[in-house]
A and B are shown apart, each in its own frame.
Chain A
Amino acid sequence: MSFPWAEHYSPKHPAMKWIDERLPLPRLVYNAVGAGYPVPRNLNYFWNFGVLAGAALAIQIITGIVLAMHYAANGDIAFASVEHIMRDVNSGWLLRYAHANGASFFFIVVYLHIFRGLYYGSYKAPREMVWLLGVVIFLLMMATAFMGYVLPWGQMSFWGAQVITGFFSAIPIVGEPIRVWLLGGFAPDSAALNRFFSLHYLLPFVIAGVIILHIWALHIPGSSNPTGVDVKGPQDTVPFHPYYTAKDGFGLGVFLIAFSAVLFFAPNMLGHADNYIPANPLSTPAHIVPEWYFWPFYAILRAFTVNFLWIPAKLWGVIAMFASIALLFFLPWLDKSPVRSASYRPLYKKFFWLLVIDVLILGLCGVKPAEEPWVRLSQFAAAYYFAHFLIILPIISRLEKPLPLPNSISESVLHGEKAEAAPIGQTA
């Protein structure tokens, strides 16, 4: 989309004109991230996380492709091939630690991006499609990360695969045959490892495609902003370049500093020691836990401990775990408040922060063993999670009294002062 005051791409150099007449790719870039894309002027740092997520994906793809040149996806030699990368491949240790910690940082950035969306109502009309595509990206990320963690073929790799693929056997009648078909055997083995490697290489490119759709869908209405008030005129926006290219460049620097600090000085902090033990189907670890970004979902899975309404507890856990993500698809229709930003929705804001605390509690329960008091705590926390999205949000979005919204973005920023000069790159 462009607002009517958006700058137009007008190449001066003969070579650029030649390209523009034949393949208008520079024009596309100009209109997407250049001076041709007006963006609200009042975005805060929570709007940096989309670009950081794209950067994290780029890091994963580049390190992953090089790692794949040295990795062997056969059960007998997979673990040894990773050690070969760590010890003998030039800078192999850097590639491996970058890829493993890059996955964690990808999730940190995406979770902050999602919670930004929840707080500022980014999922509301007319941006529902952006949100739906985002949930699809999140699901693809989870599948990719799960399969990637299996590849080193350590104890947690094997037993995590055993647990997750075991979900399919919870489905009545067809579950077990589906599980064996997916694994290529009765338990995770070389057949499963090889196909996980193939899919793990494929899915990031599917994610990249969905990200293109996600950004395209966003650029139709344009970005939202912390007030949630629509753009009304040119004084409400600045061109993406140079204003947000500069801000995102700074944000990228901060992200890389945090990433490098962990990568170079605490590369195994976010991992589990048991994954440095080669996979042994005959020896079950004392506590099977997934990587930290799956802990809340693991807690929801294990919270359902009783058979209820003729559905066994194990199947309830699987259904609830998938439902906890699937319900995000319906969020634009569950929360119908016309006010977007939680800054102007005092009641919603309180429940939002309760949700944040709830998800952190679920995460804690996910890493603890399935014993008391963690089981009961996870049951309360999971109950709140479902109640929040399915019961509380629809009710409060109807009943709450929002605060008065500012008339425009520029009013909220300028507080009635006189108009200023045109932004850099925009003709007045």
Chain B
Amino acid sequence: MIRPIAFLAGLVFVAALLVAILMPREAAEETASHKFHKHPEALQLASDGPFGKFDRAQLQRGFQVYKEVCAACHSLHYVAFRDLEALGFTEPEVKAIANQWAIEVPSINPETGEAATRKATPADKFPNPYANEVAARAANNNALPPDLSLITKAREGGAPYIHSLLTGYQAPPANLPADARPGTGLHYNPYFANLNIAMPPPLVADGQVTYADGTKATVDQMAKDVSAFLVWTAEPKLENRHRTGIAVLIFLLFATGLAYMSYRAIWADKKH
């Protein structure tokens, strides 16, 4: 009973699929994105690999780039000021960073109850540069600058993609089709998925930021440093994860070795 019905059902499914297979269709057209899009260049960071650790000097430089270049438009709302102690800043330094942060934190006037702002404290998360999404879009040609806390995990390609994107602005090639050319308010960047990004090139000149530790601030260096910083904002527990992982794997290799030896001892006289 089951087999004839199953056979019929099988024939029906296969027939439906054969009809679909034989239906003529256009081949996938090569779109401009397919042809001109570039994959990110490789990027070496201290945090790469199973033994990776953060380079705190690089993270501090990257934070300086975020503060002086990116923070005007991009929020970082999953990171608190106090988290910066992980970068090597002392508690008074972190208090000062929070207190002197250009954007203030929303609060309430204790006398009148009206909306007001106050200076940030280390307990606060980094405040949003814009009051809300409408304000953010109004100031940026209807584009919404994404929050950067998780950006290296939220984009295919991770930190190498961020670095390539920041250094990848160039003039559109001559053979770019007209419909793929950047319109007003857009900028050509082959590392971006559809080639034209609303963000203007943020790192325009060497020395845009003067590094506190004296490192030469080329565009490439600033892009690397801010990419490394953004790996930290996305994964502040990366070093714990690597350390714990190595300890766990060493233990497991030892324990599994013992388990294997027990298994062999127990089965020693049993052919199987």
Cβ A261 vs Cβ B9 within 8 A: no
Which residues between 246 and 286 of chain A lie within 8 Å of chain B, taking CB atoms? 246-247, 249-250, 252-254, 256-257, 260-261, 263-265, 267-268, 273-274, 276-277, 286
Which B residues are CB-close (under 8 A) to A43? Answer: 272
- Known contacts A260-B249, A303-B20; is-contact A334 B255 (Cβ 8 Å): no
Cβ of B23 < 8 Å from any Cβ of A? Answer: yes
Which A residues are CB-close (under 8 A) to B246? Answer: 264
- Known contacts A246-B263, A276-B154; is-contact A383 B17 (Cβ 8 Å): yes
Cβ A274 vs Cβ B6 within 8 A: no
Which A residues are CB-close (under 8 A) to B245? Answer: 260-261, 263-265
Q: Tell which of A316, A373, A391 touches B16, judged by Cβ atoms closer than 8 Å.
A: A316
Interface string of B247-264 (1 = CB under 8 A from A): 011001101100110110
- Known contacts A263-B245, A305-B20; is-contact A277 B154 (Cβ 8 Å): yes
Which residues between 130 and 158 of chain B lie within 8 Å of chain A, taking CB atoms? 146, 149-150, 153-156, 158
A-B contact count (CB 8 A): 172
Interface string of A121-154 (1 = CB under 8 A from B): 0000000000000000000000000000000000
A242–B271 Cα gap in the complex (Å)?
Answer: 15
Quick check: which of A103-111, A176-184, A194-202, A374-382 contacts chain B, the rest being far away?
A374-382
Closest to B27 in A: A372
Cβ B272 vs Cβ A42 within 8 A: yes
A267–B240 Cα gap in the complex (Å)?
Answer: 13
Cβ B6 vs Cβ A264 within 8 A: no
Cβ B7 vs Cβ A394 within 8 A: yes
Cβ A390 vs Cβ B10 within 8 A: yes
Q: Tell which of B7, B10, B248, B271 touches A260, judged by Cβ atoms closer than 8 Å.
A: B248
A165 to chain B, nearest CB (A): 24
Which residues between 21 and 68 of chain B lie within 8 Å of chain A, taking CB atoms? 21, 23, 25-28, 50
- Known contacts A250-B259, A334-B3, A372-B27; is-contact A413 B19 (Cβ 8 Å): no
Which B residues are CB-close (under 8 A) to A21? Answer: none
Interface string of A287-310 (1 = CB under 8 A from B): 000000000000000011110110
- Known contacts A253-B256, A333-B3; is-contact A383 B240 (Cβ 8 Å): no
Cβ of B244 < 8 Å from any Cβ of A? Answer: yes
- Known contacts A276-B154, A334-B2, A391-B10; is-contact A246 B249 (Cβ 8 Å): no
Which A residues are CB-close (under 8 A) to B259? Answer: 246, 249-250, 252-253
- Known contacts A238-B270, A253-B255; is-contact A389 B153 (Cβ 8 Å): no
Q: What number of A residues sit within 8 Å (CB to CB) of B?
A: 70
Q: Tell which of B78, B242, B255, B256 touches A87, judged by Cβ atoms closer than 8 Å.
A: B78
Which B residues are CB-close (under 8 A) to A286? Answer: 193
Q: What number of B residues sit within 8 Å (CB to CB) of A?
A: 59
Cβ of B236 < 8 Å from any Cβ of A? Answer: yes
Which B residues are CB-close (under 8 A) to A274? Answer: 154
Which residues between 334 and 392 of chain A lie within 8 Å of chain B, taking CB atoms? 334, 371-373, 375-376, 379-380, 382-383, 386-387, 389-391
A420–B2 Cα gap in the complex (Å)?
Answer: 46
Cβ A383 vs Cβ B6 within 8 A: no
Which B residues are CB-close (under 8 A) to A334? Answer: 2-3, 6
Cβ B271 vs Cβ A420 within 8 A: yes
Cβ of A243 < 8 Å from any Cβ of B? Answer: yes
Q: Tell which of A83, A243, A250 touches B256, judged by Cβ atoms closer than 8 Å.
A: A250
B162 to chain A, nearest CB (A): 12
Cβ of A421 < 8 Å from any Cβ of B? Answer: yes
Which B residues are CB-close (under 8 A) to A314? Answer: none
Which A residues are CB-close (under 8 A) to B21? Answer: 376, 379-380, 383
Cβ of A323 < 8 Å from any Cβ of B? Answer: yes
Cβ A423 vs Cβ B237 within 8 A: no
Cβ of B266 < 8 Å from any Cβ of A? Answer: yes
Which residues between 214 and 272 of chain B lie within 8 Å of chain A, taking CB atoms? 234, 236-237, 240-242, 244-246, 248-249, 252-253, 255-256, 259-260, 262-263, 266-267, 269-272
Closest to A398 in B: B3
Cβ of A113 < 8 Å from any Cβ of B? Answer: no
Q: Tell which of B15, B155, B244 touches A308, judged by Cβ atoms closer than 8 Å.
A: B15
Interface string of A395-426 (1 = CB under 8 A from B): 00000000000000000011001001101100
Cβ of A30 < 8 Å from any Cβ of B? Answer: no
Cβ A379 vs Cβ B252 within 8 A: no
Cβ B156 vs Cβ A264 within 8 A: no
Q: Tell which of A87, A249, A303, A320 touches B263, judged by Cβ atoms closer than 8 Å.
A: A249
Cβ A308 vs Cβ B241 within 8 A: no
Which 9 residue pairs across A and B have the least CB separation, nearest first?
A: A264-B245, A390-B10, A253-B256, A276-B154, A386-B13, A383-B17, A308-B16, A250-B259, A391-B10
**Chain B residues near A (Cβ < 8 Å):** 2-3, 6-7, 9-21, 23, 25-28, 50, 78, 83, 146, 149-150, 153-156, 158, 193, 234, 236-237, 240-242, 244-246, 248-249, 252-253, 255-256, 259-260, 262-263, 266-267, 269-272
**Could you name 28 residue pairs across A and B whose Cβ atoms are closer than 8 Å?**
A83-B78, A94-B244, A242-B266, A249-B263, A250-B262, A253-B255, A253-B259, A256-B256, A257-B249, A257-B252, A263-B245, A264-B242, A264-B246, A265-B242, A277-B154, A308-B20, A309-B12, A333-B3, A334-B3, A371-B28, A372-B28, A373-B27, A382-B13, A383-B17, A383-B18, A386-B17, A420-B271, A423-B270
